[in-house]
């Protein structure tokens, strides 16, 4: 058992530590002569160029990778993109035309609702790309094209490395669409690709010293509830951070875009209530800081994920977890790692089985 876990106490920690490799493997062979290629998608430059609407459909953690994708696709390729949980998408009447692309994201490749949504979308005439971790899985077989996430087998029920593989794959897809639409130049693509590849090393840096994460986790472990707040890509990552915490530690966690605090969630805050904020350098950094101030003024215990070198944030947070500086578009890749470790540290401190949380199965093959 210990050998299978590679010397780690649980599969989740082992899988978190595999993430630098996942980044490298997912990017391998994708850049040739300044052109990004994803051959498996089997769609010509012209066909890609015609896409004018995208739906990303998925469940759970995979849905959160979709939240990141929406912002990158719209930001770079300027294609309107919606993200929907598959169990909702399949029961409504979405607007699909022959130039609609559906991107189905599923680690297992066998989630019942995601598969049903793929079938429905194809009947309605959409092209479907699958993003999955399992070669030959139903999602792979039933899609028009597939990107494999290269996470390799994930054993812990809570997804970590497969999420990272999804985010990296979707980032590549967003860049590819922008390239086809002529929205990013060759030199911009080259630079972005290099910085994307650099995240592997940045994750190694985060994994090499987790003392600040463990300290913050210990301070929060006895809470009954918590809030995760962020803006933009930070909000998307908060959704995943909150899911990770609740599914393995049973500590209630809810995520909110930070700007929504005043519209309700701030009422929850009293002395010692944990507020976890993704406050890395971004165009909305200052806004997030003022949300931290509002929360702190009401007694919140603030844990901030911040950019290395940002000493200013120490005035507004009780615990600061620093991560290396990256361009905002790549912050989901780096910022999700301390949130995974934070959730795991709390679960361990609460005596939970982090690999096999109660009531959950690794894949949900029934509705
Ligand atoms: C992740 O930690 C969860 N256990 C769960 O939300 C999962 O992401 C969801 O069931 C979707 O699974 P899939 O990616 O295999 O389709």
Each residue's pLDDT tens digit, 14-37: 999 999 999 999 999 999 888 898
What was the pLDDT predicted at 34? 81
pLDDT at 37: 87
Mutate to test the pocket of ligand 1, among 12, 62, 130, 165 (most ligand atoms within 8 A of CB): 62
Q: What is the C-alpha to C-alpha distance for residues 101 and 83, in angstroms, rounded to an integer?
A: 12
- CB proximity list for 52: less than 8 A, separation 6 or greater: 79, 80, 97, 99, 100
Question: How much is the mean pLDDT over the chain?
Answer: 94
CA of 104 to the centre of ligand 1 (A): 13
- Give per-residue pLDDT as tens, 252-291: 999 999 999 999 999 999 999 999 999 999 999 999 999 9
Residues with Cβ within 8 Å of 299's Cβ and at least 6 positions away in sequence, in order, are 269, 270, 271, 272, 273
Q: Whose CA is nearest to atom 2 of ligand 1?
A: 158
Joined tokens for residue 117: 């949504």
| Beta-carbon contacts of residue 180 (< 8 Å; ≥ 6 apart) | 45, 48, 49, 77
pLDDT of 42 above 80: no
Mean pLDDT of 234-263: 96
- Residue 359 is encoded by which pair of tokens? 């009531």
Find out whether the beta carbon of 364 lies less than 6 Å from any atom of ligand 1: yes
Residue 332 in contact with residue 318, Cβ under 8 Å?
A: no
- Look at the alpha carbons of 254, 258, 264, 270 in this order and tell me if their dihedral is positive or negative: positive
pLDDT reading at 49 higher than 90? no
**What is each CA distance from 151 to 4, 19, 103, 135, 262, in whole angstroms?**
16, 8, 18, 11, 39
Catalytic residues: 362
Residue 98 pLDDT > 80:
yes
Query: Tokens representing 329?
Result: 């578009």
Residue 130 has which token pair?
């699958």
Look at residue 90 and tell me whether its pLDDT is greater than 90.
no
At 366, is the pLDDT very low, low, confident or very high (cuts 50, 70, 90)? confident
The whole-number pLDDT of residue 188 equals 94
HSE-up (13 A, CA, CB side) for residue 21: 9
């Amino acid at each position: 058992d210990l050998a299978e876990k590679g010397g780690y106490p649980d599969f989740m920690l082992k899988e978190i530590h595999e993430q630098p490799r996942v980044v490298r493997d997912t990017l391998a062979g994708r850049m040739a002569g300044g052109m990004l290629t994803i051959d498996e998608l089997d769609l010509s430059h012209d066909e890609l160029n015609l896409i004018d609407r995208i739906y990303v459909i998925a469940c759970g953690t995979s849905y959160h990778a979709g939240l990141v994708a929406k912002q990158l696709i719209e930001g770079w390729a300027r294609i309107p993109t919606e993200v929907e949980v598959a169990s909702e998408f399949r029961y409504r009447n979405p607007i699909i035309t022959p130039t609609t692309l559906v991107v189905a994201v599923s680690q297992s490749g066998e989630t019942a609702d995601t598969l049903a949504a793929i079938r429905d979308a194809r009947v309605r005439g959409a092209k479907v790309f699958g993003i999955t971790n399992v070669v030959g899985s139903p999602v792979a077989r039933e899609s028009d094209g597939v990107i494999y996430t290269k996470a390799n087998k994930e054993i812990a029920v809570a997804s970590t490395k497969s999420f990272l593989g999804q985010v990296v794959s979707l980032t590549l897809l967003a860049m590819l669409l922008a390239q086809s639409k002529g929205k990013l130049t060759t030199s911009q693509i080259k630079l972005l690709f290099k910085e994307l590849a650099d995240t592997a090393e940045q994750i190694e840096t985060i994994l090499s010293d987790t003392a600040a994460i463990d300290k913050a986790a210990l301070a929060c472990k006895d809470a009954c509830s918590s809030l995760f707040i962020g803006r933009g890509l930070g909000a998307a990552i908060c959704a995943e951070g909150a899911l990770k915490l609740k599914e393995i530690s049973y500590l209630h966690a809810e995520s909110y875009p930070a700007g929504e605090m005043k519209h309700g969630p701030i009422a929850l805050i009293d002395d010692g209530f944990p507020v976890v904020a993704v406050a890395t350098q971004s165009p909305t950094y200052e806004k997030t800081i003022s949300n931290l101030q509002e929360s702190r003024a009401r007694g919140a215990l603030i844990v901030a994920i911040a950019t290395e070198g940002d000493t200013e944030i120490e005035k507004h947070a009780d615990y600061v977890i620093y991560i290396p500086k990256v361009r905002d578009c790549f912050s989901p890749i780096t910022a999700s790692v301390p949130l995974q470790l934070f959730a795991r540290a709390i679960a361990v401190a609460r005596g939970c089985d982090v690999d096999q949380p109660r009531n959950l199965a690794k894949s949900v093959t029934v509705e």
